[in-house]
Amino acid sequence: MSIISDLREVQRLAEARRRRNLSLTSFHLGDLLPEIRSAHFADEPRTVDVAFVNHGSLACLVYDDLAAHIYVHQVLNHPDTPAEVFRLVFCHELLHLRIEPAEVDGRLVQHTPEFWQAERQLCQERSAAWCWIWCNLGDCLRLRPKLERIDVLRNWRAVWSRARLDLAACQELTAPHLAELEASGW
């Protein structure tokens, strides 16, 4: 990428974060986040809010000393997205407040082995949530291992409007590959 295209990307992300979207989930996100915070992050002093955005990665966290903002891509803002997916996203993003980036094999990484272990312990529905995400949204997701993120592609609106499988159906489809995925550290 050139400096100009990088700058345009930064501008697009900033604009996406300013344009907030109403929640379309079948449950109240405003109840889920406090539940997760009180169960696992009660010692976190920052205020935390959640917003849906139309551009960027599947989810990200932006924070300072006083506040943390979880930005979730609009592709997840759907009545058929199960609460388990949002539990995973919220636990994952909040873990970034607790576990600092560290050097692994000579490279600074956000997701250390300790981070993944903590996520597995906190989020019992982790495997089911990832199965659901990849089964239903895989056509508009791009795994970016070096950048440690999952980008949502421009075709997300077409994928958003498709019928979605439930958690059980997704787990059944991915069961033969689950051990392989777990071993890869996803």
Q: pLDDT digit string (tens) for 33-74? A: 999 999 999 999 999 999 899 888 999 999 999 999 999 999
The arithmetic mean of pLDDT across residues 86-109, rounded, is 96
Q: Does 118 score more than 90 pLDDT?
A: yes
Q: What is the mean pLDDT of the chain?
A: 88
Which band of pLDDT confidence, cut at 50, 70 and 90, is reported for residue 136? Answer: very high
Query: C-alpha distances in angstroms, 178 versus 18, 130, 173, 174?
Result: 37, 10, 10, 6
Q: Does 162 score more than 60 pLDDT?
A: yes
Q: In whole angstroms, what is the distance from residue 95 CA to residue 97 CA?
A: 5
Determine whether 69 is exposed, middle or buried from the number of CB atoms within 10 Å of its CB (0-12, 13-18, 19+). middle
Mapped onto helix, strand or coil, the DSSP state of residue 43 is coil
Q: In the chain, what are the domains? A: 3-183 (3.30.2010.10)
Q: Does 2 score more than 50 pLDDT?
A: no
